Chain A
Amino acid sequence: MAEATESAEPVEPARATKGTGPRPGDELPVPIKAVPVRHYGRWVGAGFVLVALALLVWAFAGADVNWGVVGDFLDHDTIVEGAAKTLWITLLAMLLGVVLGVVLAVMRLSSNPVLSSVAWGYIWFFRGTPVLVQLFLWYNLSFVFDTVNLGPIYKNEMNDVMTPFLAALLGLGLNEAAYMAEIARAGILSVDQGQTEAAHALGMSSAKTTRRIVLPQAMRVIIPPTGNEFINMLKTSSLVYAIQYDELFRAGTTISARNLAVMEMLIVVTVWYLLLTTVFSIGQYYLERHYARGSNRPLPDTPLQRVRAHLVSLRSPSQVGGTSV
């Protein structure tokens, strides 16, 4: 303890003193040393969790699961291809959903009653029906329109046009647009009215104001729930196995239908889904940082910076105000 009180090492960089004697504020602070609060409950909780995890691992290890098969099929061509297709359809469907969703949100908030009614009707229909039903509706569209006729440009049988891929893209993407529209609308409404006024006062048109001023600021509010939607879409896309699109889940069930390794293939598929969602969570984190530019709050540390800071703080003795999580 004696050593601790004497360690008057400058914690802050010393101010430049100009030989004019001590001034108020020149004195160096002596950091408070205190015994931190002990969180016994956390240790007990962590113990419970570890035990539960151990039991779960034990159950799976002892179950009738052939882990060799799991390992073999983890990088099987069909599975990897399925994962790629899951990723692809998710990306495309989200792209469609985000772009159309933002357009719908702008329409919904437009002063033009035709535009806002159309947007309202769209959201009403696509939010009000299950995705699975919509997927089948698109897939079976030939019952309603048997040919696609775009005049001289393009003409074909609907059955040839509406491939599983296109049905999946439309089913997932158009449904997503309805949800993204609501998210984007909340984002747009979160932007201060003064921003629009300032832009209008400068002579900017409504379209330019929306694109250059309002939407970039709305992004801060839109991005976090969109990341959520993205991860949801990765999982929801497994529904398209029902309309014969060979994504990850369908790849797994196709294989297990042949080799009867049901649980093994489900584990393989689970591992892949976790992998994909994890990668996206990380991407989302950095995207949010990007759009937090210019905000009042300082940017949070990246995990790397946090690990580094933690290592440093572990080496120095505990101080009041340290992070207690």
Chain B
Amino acid sequence: MSLTKEPTRPTEPMVRAERVHKSFGPVRVLRGIDLEVRAGEVFCLVGPSGSGKSTFLRCINHLEKIDAGRLYVDGRLVGYRQRGDTLYEMREREVAEQRRDIGMVFQRFNLFPHMTAAENVMEAPVQVKGVRRAQARERAEALLARVGLADRMDNYPAQLSGGQQQRVAIARALAMDPKLMLFDEPTSALDPELVGEVLDVMRGLAEDGMTMIVVTHEMGFAREVGDSLVFMDDGAVVESGHPREVLNDPKHPRTRAFLSKVL
């Protein structure tokens, strides 16, 4: 294990995974993931279904606990405090505090159906950060305008199309001013003609310098917007590099086999 290395390098990566393992019962889902995501980069994670991409994303904001290895976000250990050689599990409130800085966008949107678009966006700032409602509403207005939904503020999720719902979900995550955004197949549940509007919003975020980890099957997006790409299979990193490099000239036969199916 590389535990002897002290995390005191000049430019700390936004996310650093060291030999991350995760099992569900007997099923080994992550088998020693090593990777680094630099601040401001768009990091694409691709791989066949069941390869552990979602699980890895969920480990980054501690929705799942890792079994072994180390996972750092912005230089801080995820879910644990380290004193000397001893790890202490974080209390719930500390975990929640860590998660505030990490936005997550889900495949199935997971908007709060009993709240309007604006209320969805306002909820966390008001409830978690204690922002005043009027101020939160103003911010929600700006964020919804940014994702092109200024006129949908007071619609409930059920009254919105899939693409609109996903854009509200992005605005909701942005409302907490995260320094890292996790996207778990944000366009996979959308009708083909709605994919573009969501990708456009994500492209805008990337241009503004947001650090993003994107699990996606949209190779066009990865090629055009991505700064690095990792191909995962069976819980392990098979190949990584610049998106154009990996996508145009895959080295590993498993990468080639996968790409021939999705491209």
Contact = CB atoms under 8 A, between A and B. Distances in A.
Contacts, number: 70
A294 B99 contact: no
B112 interface: yes
B141 interface: no
B102 A201 contact: yes
B87 to A, nearest CB: 20
A296 B113 CA distance: 9
Interface string A205-232: 1101000110011000000000000000
Given A195-B112, A202-B99, A203-B128, 12 more contacts: A194-B106, A194-B110, A198-B111, A201-B63, A201-B99, A202-B124, A202-B172, A208-B128, A217-B114, A293-B156, A294-B113, A294-B115
B110 A202 contact: no
Contacts of B232: none
Interface stretch (B89-97, B194-202, B204-212): B89-97
A206 B128 CA distance: 12
B127 A208 contact: yes
Given A202-B128, A202-B176, A208-B128, A294 B96 contact: no
A78 to B, nearest CB: 45
A294 B156 contact: yes
A202 B63 CA distance: 11
16 contacts: A195-B110, A195-B112, A197-B106, A198-B104, A198-B106, A202-B100, A202-B173, A203-B97, A203-B124, A203-B176, A204-B124, A208-B128, A213-B112, A217-B112, A293-B156, A294-B156
A203 B114 contact: no
A295 B158 contact: yes
B112 A200 contact: no
A205 to B, nearest CB: 5
Contacts of B112: 195, 198-199, 213, 217
Contacts of A198: 104, 106, 110-112, 169
B99 A203 contact: yes
B210 to A, nearest CB: 16
Contacts of A204: 96, 123-124, 127-128
Contacts of B111: 198
